[in-house]
Each structure stands twice: as C-alpha cells, then as structure tokens.
Chains A and B, each alone.
Chain A
C-alpha cells in the first residue's frame, strides 16, 4: 500500500486514547522523513483527517507540508486557512507532545500572512496558539514575540497589551525574551504607557548576554528616549546586574545622537532641544525613532512646568509662559489645563487674576480603593518573595552551581569547605 495512505489510516485509527497516541507519536517520528520527501502530495490528506481529533497527525503532516518554501501569494492564500483552522481546532494535549513542530507551523503562518501583507489575519490565530502552547500564564513561548510583532504590524496595539500584563517566569530561549520585551516596549510606547515600556526595555538592556546583539542596541536607544519622557532624566550608568558586555559596549553604539540628546535635555531649554532634534532628524528617522524624539521635546514643557511647582505656590500665567518659553499666557493656560486633566499636576487657574495656584496632592490615602490597592500590592509582593525563596533553594541544589562554587571556595579555605576537586554526582 502506498506509505502515505497507510500513515493516514494509522493517524485515523490511533488517535483515541493516550496510549494509542503515544504509539502514533513514535510512528510519526519514524515517518517524518518520508513525509517531508512527499510534501508535494500532502494537500489531499488535509481533507481526510480532522484537526481536533487527529491533532498530532495533522501537525506532522502540516509541518512537512510547510517545510517547502512558499513564495507566491496564491499558495499562501491556500495555506493560511488550513493553518488557522488547525490552530483553532487542535487539541492541547496532543500538540504539547510535539511543541517544536507546533512552533514551526505557527512561525510559517506568520511568514505567510506577512507575505500576503495582511498581518491582521494572523493576530487571532497566533493568540489562540500561544495560549494553547503555554503551560501556564508565566511561561514565555517563542510565539509571544511573533504575536507581538503581528500586533505591531496590524496596529492592534490594545490586543498586544493584553498579554503584556502576564508576569513571565519561565523562558525557553533568551532570544524570545529579548524580542518579547522589545516588541512589548514598543506596544506600550504606542499606547503611551511609558512606565511599563521602561520596565520592559530595562529587561532587554539588563538581560544576561554573551555577545552584543542588535535587539539590545535598539532597545537601549528607545530606553534613553522613554526615560527622558517618563522621568525627565537619564543616567548613563547601568545597574550592577547588567552584563559586563553591555556596560562596556552599549554607550559607544548609542552615543550619537541619543546620549547627546539626554545631555541637551538636562539643560532645560526647549529651543536647544528642538534644534538638536531637527539637526539629527535623519538619524532618528533611520532608527524609526523620530516620533519618539518629538515626544521628548513636547515633554520638556511639562517637565519645566512641574519644576515650577516645587518653587512657587502661585504664579501668573504670564510668568509661566516666559519661564517655560511658551508664546502666550493663553498657551500656558492650555498647557496647565491639559496637565491637570492628565493628573500630572495639581493646580487651580484663576482667570480673573491670571494666576495659577499650585496645590498639594489631594490623595489622603484613606479611601477604600487605596486600601484595596495597598492590600493587593502586599499580597503580590508576598507571592513574589515566596517564589524567590523557592528559586533560591532550587539553585542551591543545582549541580552546575555547586560545582562552580565548590571549585572557587577551594582557593580560600581548604579546611573549612571539604569539597572535592570535581563534583561528580
């Protein structure tokens, strides 16, 4: 009998119980090569097997089918619905038996929708796929980064934001983490959630690295700009837990114009900053950071007004306009009004006298919401602390860690630490 037909029969027959599926899995692994060599004859099989019942078999066939390169739109147009249908219908237990193949198929989906120039078609399937692949919400799969990339290209920023709220604890490959945090940072910048963007970009910049990579450099550039927008200052010294490679090499790559911009920002003069941005516009443009650079300039006004609240109790609108280099008192009034609306400042405007009175933060920390907020923060920190203790204990028992520590301690106190030269378990 034709080996393909035999295989289809086995897929259909052996997909009911977990013992059968284990057998099927072995058979499929053995037939992988023959599937790949017959990839051109595989398309009729898709109508014979059901993605929800025969998920594992479907996955192997799909993997072999997509391993050939698809370069024209018509083939992509046929392939995308098959993969989409599979992802929405497949059974979670079966696909978790062959995660690398599932990931490969999903990545091919991403390639196809980008070939068709319709990234929005891939957003919903990719979301379903990553939820199915994830063992828990703390697990970062390679699909997270692709999902965020599709969200960015399709401009569905709000959808991308929904998975960024999950705390990540387990990561399969470091590269996934870099890309996830970098794209995540971009999505947060688009939704103007600058603190979260800063946290994510910080993760990329401080992640352990064995060699320089482009993702970290681009992330650092955005990190500088977002830090200026959010905090109005930027410190060039990286934290101690950063890899030494990053500490030595990031600054030279980003010196001009990003770190220069941070220096110009600290002078507090809007005109200088604007001139600087205009002079370096093409450099910002080539990094796709020109919009962000312009946001830095407009944040300077806010920063200067906020600085005034620390010195003055009341100030006239004219004086604000002059100090902050705005054109008129009316413009100053509009700026202050917008900052009040955004909650960035507490003040009241008195139009009759043309004065602004700066107030203290009216938060009394007495409301129920505030108590709930503090309570939930305490619980979160307790959970985090438990997790850290558990991880610490786990690492203390880890073979690699003990052998390295054992070797080093040798140097100092031979008598106290009776650890053999080689730590063989």
Chain B
C-alpha cells in the first residue's frame, strides 16, 4: 500500500489536502481488493477531516473502522475523542482531548497544527459573537490559563491581536474602544 502521497503532504504541511488524498487512496486500495484495514492510518485520516471542518465525513469514517482496530489502537480512539467534542461543540473539551494524550511522533505536528487552527477559529468566533465576556470563559474556549487569556497575548494562538475583546472584566486596559470590534 503506497502511502507516500500522505507522507509527502504531512511533510510539506499541506494538511488541508490530506483528507482528499486519503479518501481517494482508500477507494483505490479497496478496489484492488487488498485487506487494508490493519495498515491504514486511520488517526491521520480522521484528523484530516477535522482539519477541513468535515465532521460528518469523520463520523462516517469512524463507523466503518472495524471494532478490532478501535479496541487495539488507543491513538485512533484519542483522535476520535477530539471528534466527539467537536461534534458536541464542547469548545473547552476539544482542548482537553488534544492535551490529554501522548501523541506519537508522526502525529504530533499534525495535532499541533490542528490545535492552532482551532484556537484561531474559536477566537474569531468569540470576537464576532461577544461584546463582553468573562475571562474564565475566554480561558475555557481558548484552552489557556486565565492569565494568558486576560493579557490578550494569546501566545499559543499567535494571532494578530489588533482587535480585542473589549471587556469590562479584562485586566489589561490596552484593549481598544468598544465601538469597532469587527475583524478587518
């Protein structure tokens, strides 16, 4: 089974392409009739669907994974836990699921990239949805400690924090006026 396309995409960090590559490769391999379930990188495949926000495809993929693999492979289960939290929109739970497992070498970069992307998106959501928000909630949604959240430094998110949550609870008064808090 030739997984070179998948490895190449992982190395070049073109994570958004991995979902399609995996899907097409899986169909080709299945058509050839080879038994591929044991060697197939399900963890990467599932994560690639989360990366492009396609939780539905990830769910269907999970349903097709044989239960023997689900039982014997803890990493696949850990990736699925992230998926469950994404499905339930448990924003804090996603971060817990990401942190709560020792990812293997091949998966670490991918998980880190996904975590960054997700935090960035939740931050955008908070900016557009809230005019005021408590520091605890920001910490929960972004998976950070309260000091990091309240200083709006967003170190792990590495965002251009030119706009902030103008927040009566927010300690740092460097936050801008209430008026224009829409992203440019």
Q: Which residues of A are in contact with B by a Cβ distance under 8 Å? A: 77, 80-81, 84, 118, 120-125, 127, 154-159, 190-192, 334, 336-338, 340-341, 347-353, 357, 362
CB–CB B125/A118 < 8 A: no
Q: Give per-residue flags for B16-59: 1 if the beta carbon is below 8 A from chain A beta carbons, else 0.
A: 00000001001110111100000000000000000000101100
**Known contacts A156-B23, A351-B134; is-contact A121 B57 (Cβ 8 Å):** no
How far is B125's CA from A347's CA once the two chains are assembled, in angstroms?
A: 12
CB–CB B64/A154 < 8 A: yes
* 8 A-B pairs closest in CB distance: A155-B60, A124-B27, A124-B31, A352-B132, A120-B30, A340-B129, A348-B131, A350-B131
CB–CB A123/B27 < 8 A: yes
Contacts of B134 in A (CB 8 A): 351
**Known contacts A155-B64, A158-B54, A190-B60; is-contact A347 B30 (Cβ 8 Å):** no
Q: Give per-residue flags for B108-137: 1 if the beta carbon is below 8 A from chain A beta carbons, else 0.
A: 000000000000000001001111111001
- Minimum CB–CB distance for B19 against chain A, Å: 8
Closest A residue to B89 using CB positions: A338
Contacts of B61 in A (CB 8 A): 155
CB–CB B129/A337 < 8 A: yes
Checking B56, B125, B182 against A337 with a beta-carbon cut-off of 8 angstroms, the contacting residue is B125
- Minimum CB–CB distance for B66 against chain A, Å: 12
Contacts of A353 in B (CB 8 A): 132
Decide if B101 is an interface residue (CB 8 Å cutoff).
Answer: no
12 interchain pairs (CB within 8 A)? A81-B32, A84-B31, A121-B30, A124-B27, A124-B30, A154-B64, A155-B63, A158-B57, A336-B129, A348-B131, A349-B131, A357-B131
Closest A residue to B124 using CB positions: A341
**Known contacts A157-B57, A341-B125, A349-B130; is-contact A81 B33 (Cβ 8 Å):** yes
How far is B35's CA from A118's CA once the two chains are assembled, in angstroms?
A: 11
**Known contacts A120-B27, A121-B30, A156-B23; is-contact A350 B60 (Cβ 8 Å):** no
Contacts of B168 in A (CB 8 A): 352
Closest B residue to A121 using CB positions: B30
Contacts of B132 in A (CB 8 A): 350-353
Closest A residue to B35 using CB positions: A118
How far is B27's CA from A241's CA once the two chains are assembled, in angstroms?
A: 40
How far is B31's CA from A191's CA once the two chains are assembled, in angstroms?
A: 24
**Known contacts A348-B130, A352-B169; is-contact A158 B23 (Cβ 8 Å):** yes
How far is B132's CA from A351's CA once the two chains are assembled, in angstroms?
A: 6
Contacts of A334 in B (CB 8 A): 89
How far is B125's CA from A118's CA once the two chains are assembled, in angstroms?
A: 41
| Extra A-B contacts (11), CB below 8 Å, given A124-B31, A156-B60 | A80-B33, A120-B30, A123-B31, A190-B56, A191-B57, A192-B56, A337-B129, A341-B125, A348-B130, A350-B132, A352-B132
Closest A residue to B91 using CB positions: A337
How far is B28's CA from A208's CA once the two chains are assembled, in angstroms?
A: 38
Closest B residue to A357 using CB positions: B131
Query: How many B residues face the partner with a CB closer than 8 A?
Result: 28
Contacts of A190 in B (CB 8 A): 56, 60
Contacts of B128 in A (CB 8 A): 340, 348
Contacts of A192 in B (CB 8 A): 56
How far is B31's CA from A81's CA once the two chains are assembled, in angstroms?
A: 8
Contacts of B64 in A (CB 8 A): 120, 154-155
**Known contacts A121-B31, A192-B56; is-contact A340 B125 (Cβ 8 Å):** yes
Contacts of A352 in B (CB 8 A): 132, 168-169
- Minimum CB–CB distance for B40 against chain A, Å: 12
CB–CB B89/A351 < 8 A: no
* Interface positions of B from 131 to 153, Cβ below 8 Å from A: 131-134, 137
Contacts of B31 in A (CB 8 A): 84, 121-125
Checking B23, B56, B125, B129 against A159 with a beta-carbon cut-off of 8 angstroms, the contacting residue is B23
- Minimum CB–CB distance for B110 against chain A, Å: 20
CB–CB B30/A118 < 8 A: yes
- Minimum CB–CB distance for A326 against chain B, Å: 15
How far is B169's CA from A362's CA once the two chains are assembled, in angstroms?
A: 28
Contacts of A191 in B (CB 8 A): 56-57
CB–CB B23/A351 < 8 A: no
- Minimum CB–CB distance for A258 against chain B, Å: 24
How far is B42's CA from A296's CA once the two chains are assembled, in angstroms?
A: 32
Contacts of B33 in A (CB 8 A): 77, 80-81, 84, 121
CB–CB A351/B133 < 8 A: yes
- Minimum CB–CB distance for A82 against chain B, Å: 11
Contacts of B182 in A (CB 8 A): 362
How far is B168's CA from A77's CA once the two chains are assembled, in angstroms?
A: 69
CB–CB B27/A347 < 8 A: no
Closest A residue to B60 using CB positions: A155
How far is B64's CA from A123's CA once the two chains are assembled, in angstroms?
A: 14
Contacts of B63 in A (CB 8 A): 155
Contacts of A157 in B (CB 8 A): 56-57, 60
CB–CB A347/B130 < 8 A: no
- Minimum CB–CB distance for B137 against chain A, Å: 7
